[in-house]
Amino acid sequence: MLEEELRRINKDFYSRRIDKIEQTIDLEESLSKEVGWGCYENQYQGFQLATNLVNIDWSSTNISILDIGCGYGALARYLREKKGFQGKYTGIDILTTFSEKASELQGNDNRNYFISGDALSYNWKDSKYDFVVSLGTLSVNYDYPEPYGKESLEFAFKLVNLICQLSCRYACLYYPNEKNSPLIQRMTSTDMAFYDPDNIEKMFKEATSGNYKKLITKSYPTADNVKTITSIYF
């Protein structure tokens, strides 16, 4: 799928959600909803699970993080405020409106850097990051208006390969869990894609040829919830 088509699908996906946001809600809630989260609490819980890493010295200036599908860069602020993160944060988003807003909101910290572009076609050269996270990119149905299928699975496979290629220590991927989502949700949320965790784990295993230390899948806030993150440790 061409970058321009990916950009169009993403723009339409998020525009539909922004149009539904009530103007009376507070700024934090609004910003979370604009980038696709159901509410600020959902976003916050996702950040907690994605960064729940042991034996990490977040105060080290040598740690680097790449956030694919960074939205407004809220993860950067979470890491700085809640984890005391002192390293380098790089965020990339295919939607220029998101990356520009991220720079506006988080760019006063020169340790934060934002890129406008498609992560799959971006020239990463020999870039490597300690941690690579992607917490929203797979929510979009890339087969839309058709049901999610071939295009969405191909996109997921390419994304998994990319984050494994760029990560040296840890990577994680958020996606809506097909097994935990009611049929009515999948039928009504036609512009969303849902994934079988077994398939996502298989993609990680293939992308790394089995060369990893640990592969974990968790749903939150409970084990039977649709919100799911698969994490891999190298």
Question: β-strand 227-233 against 214-219: which pairing, if any?
Answer: antiparallel
Whether the full predicted model's pTM is greater than 0.85, yes or no, is yes
Domains of the chain in start order, with CATH, are 3-233 (3.40.50.150)
Confidence bin at 25 (pLDDT 50/70/90): low
Q: What pLDDT score does 18 carry?
A: 81
**Number of other residues whose CB lies within 10 A of the CB of residue 187:** 9
If we measure between CA atoms, which residue out of 92, 89, 86 comes closest to residue 72? Answer: 92
Planar angle of CA 7, 74, 190, nearest 5 degrees: 40
Residue ranges in 20-149 assigned as alpha helix (H): 27-34, 40-50, 74-78, 96-106
CA of 145: how far to CAs of 16, 148, 159, 193, in Å? 13, 8, 21, 11
* Mean pLDDT taken over the chain: 93
The proportion of the chain whose per-residue pLDDT surpasses 70, expressed as a percent, equals 98
pLDDT tens sequence across 72-104: 999 999 999 999 999 999 999 999 999 999 999
Q: What pLDDT score does 23 carry?
A: 63
